[in-house]
Structure 1
Amino acid sequence: MSLKLSCLAILAAVAVTTAPTPAQAKFELVERKIKVGNRERSYRAYIPDRVRAGRETSVIFAFHPALGSGKGFVDQANLHRASGAEDFIIVYPEGFRRTWNGGDCCGPAQRRKIDDLGFVKAMFQDLENFGPISKSRNFAAGFSNGWVMSQQVACQMPDRFRAIAGGGAVKQDLSGCGRGSAVSIFIMHGLEDTIAPYQGGKSSLNKTGRGAELPSVAQMANFWKGANNCGSKSSSSRLPGASCESFKGCSGGAEVTVCAVPNMGHWWPGHGGGRKGEKTFGPSRGDLNGAGAAISFFRSKL
């Protein structure tokens, strides 16, 4: 598959319907515009009361899928509504032309070499206007192109990020990753995802059948297990309703957990899709609590 088609394989997942969610924690919603170089960027953040009280707080960046938006991902991911979310500032940034430059992917952001790492650094700095921000215990969650971006910050900014969570994509270029502090990885990926197939191979978006195949989720997980020098494997209940295994004994107390989600296509677990969405992206699992699983994972790494 060509690089162009490989990028397109991550450009799916649009909002269709929103699954029921737990009661929302108390946050102040702020919408910010900041300059990154000569370009104006924007994000929305949910600021918990603890920040206003002057307590150092960790940040979760929630990166939307390509062709999505930060505003849309608020209701797709629902991270700020999960139990325990009040321990974090939760940020939903807007990509460049609805895409992220994850290094090897995707769309206009990657082709234009948009400095999305610079955007993340600028958001850290801007958030300090609200209160003290952790220097090393921060997190990223993302879906599809947003999951590629989450891995990009883990690769390029490991001293600032403690863990990442997401799925729906396989980052192909992991060169330069795993050279700093160990970063915990939590993968939640649908077994019926045909856009980024769990077992690897041709994406359903590759209509010609030509070009290189996508690597598998296992290959991506194996990289992170090796990068973090992980040890023994055990079954895990990180995401009830999925088949999960965890690798622990990793450097710096890190962990790599992989959850294969049955009867789910190209979706964030917990985002329920209607008929139109499921026709394109496969079955959804609105009954799952991906947000709660991600927040629980991050809280375990504080």
Structure 2
Amino acid sequence: MRFVFFFQVILALVAAQGAAACGPDSDCRIGDRQYRIQWPDDARAPVGAIVFAHGYRGSAAGVMRNRSLRRMAEAEGLALVALDAGDQDWSIPHAPGHAGSDGTGEFAYVAAVLDDVARRFALDRGRVTGAGFSSGSMLMWNVACEMPDRFAGIVAVAGTFWQDPPGHCATPATSVVHIHGESDPTVPLTGRAIRETWQGDVHETLEMYRRLGRFRAAEPARIDGMTCEGWRNAGGDILDFCLHPGGHSLRTSYIRAGLDRLRAAGRM
């Protein structure tokens, strides 16, 4: 009996060490890539998640240094999953330095992260929100186009497709809340040239997604400090476009506002 008890203690210690080796301060390895995760304390399983994509030259470790974002996820009872490009930027269609990429590698990585989180933790797959800032927002727009079934919704801040919107996207469309600064000089609303490519036009992206999801004009969101337009489709999904008077910036309140909109639409 003592041997059985000792063996159970050893197993418990090994399990605890394994969990500690994958968290906000250490990488969760999947193949040659990694991500980081903060699991909420005292949350009732299964738990929803915010899957966050960093901007240019960012990292999963850098996302986890954002204490405000971590506190918000904890208060919402959601896991915070920080993706990592493994390079300076995401390898998505038309991105500078990634000529010829169709984004397949990144989409496979995002899917692998979701599967790995569900394997390690009690993840509620129906309450996973994708979010991103700047080039991370560009990744999330591509995710909304290529794998909308894996996300309850997307909160995209200050970034859209490179060049033109894609000619084809998977259906049915998911819910998207896009937030942008009116005076953003880094990713202007109409885009700008970057090396051999150029940033897309936000209005063209929204028009494409409105057609794809058969969105119709609806009551716009009311968010302090922002001016919004809103659309809704027959399936209950939402498409929101909200402008703030600032530039190229990320605030935790933007992500929270997006979550509130998705929750109000019954998507979270």
User: Structure 1 residues 213 and 112, CA, compared in 2 at 3 Å: closer, same or farther?
Assistant: closer
Q: Displacement of 1:108 after TM fit?
A: 5.1
Alignment partner of 1:291 is 2:260: no
| TM-score, with length taken from structure 1 | 0.70
User: Structure 1 residues 79 and 183, CA, compared in 2 at 3 Å: closer, same or farther?
Assistant: farther
Higher helix proportion (structure 1 or 2): 2
Matched-pair contact (CA < 8 Å) for 2:93–2:102: no
**Counterpart pick for 1:175 among 167, 178, 183:** 167
Alignment partner of 1:101 is 2:91: yes
Tell me what 1:162 maps to: 152
- Give the counterpart letter for 1:117 in structure 2: F
Structure having greater relative contact order (Cα 8 Å, sep ≥ 6): 1
User: Structure 1 residues 292 and 68, CA, compared in 2 at 3 Å: closer, same or farther?
Assistant: same
Matched-pair contact (CA < 8 Å) for 1:105–1:145: no
Tell me what 1:217 maps to: 202
| TM-score, with length taken from structure 2 | 0.78
Q: Gaps (5+ residues) in structure 1? A: 1-27, 271-288
Alignment partner of 1:31 is 2:26: yes
User: Structure 1 residues 114 and 217, CA, compared in 2 at 3 Å: closer, same or farther?
Assistant: closer
Matched-pair contact (CA < 8 Å) for 1:82–1:295: no
**Counterpart pick for 2:187 among 176, 193, 196:** 196
Matched-pair contact (CA < 8 Å) for 1:181–1:252: no
Matched-pair contact (CA < 8 Å) for 1:247–1:255: yes
Is the partner of 1:259 in helix, strand or coil? Answer: strand
Q: Gaps (5+ residues) in structure 2? A: 1-22
- TM-superposition CA deviations, 1:264-290 (whole Å, max 9, x none): 1122245xxxxxxxxxxxxxxxxxx21
Matched-pair contact (CA < 8 Å) for 2:50–2:78: yes
- The share of aligned pairs that are identical, in percent, is 23
Matched-pair contact (CA < 8 Å) for 1:63–1:147: yes
**Following the alignment from structure 1 to structure 2, what is the Cα–Cα distance between the partners of residues 186 and 119?**
23
Tell me what 2:117 maps to: 127
After the TM superposition, which of the residue ranges 105-114 and 213-222 deviates more from structure 2? 105-114
Q: Displacement of 1:35 after TM fit?
A: 3.1
Tell me what 1:268 maps to: 250
- TM-superposition CA deviations, 1:132-165 (whole Å, max 9, x none): 3233432111011101111122112111112101
What is the Cα-based RMSD across aligned positions, in Å?
2.9
- TM-superposition CA deviations, 1:227-261 (whole Å, max 9, x none): 11111233321x3111112112x142100111111
Larger Rg: 2
Tell me what 1:46 maps to: 38
Matched-pair contact (CA < 8 Å) for 1:84–1:296: no
**Counterpart pick for 1:254 among 221, 237, 249:** 237
Q: Displacement of 1:201 after TM fit?
A: 5.0
**Following the alignment from structure 2 to structure 1, what is the Cα–Cα distance between the partners of residues 74 and 261?**
11
Tell me what 1:61 maps to: 51
Tell me what 1:231 maps to: 216
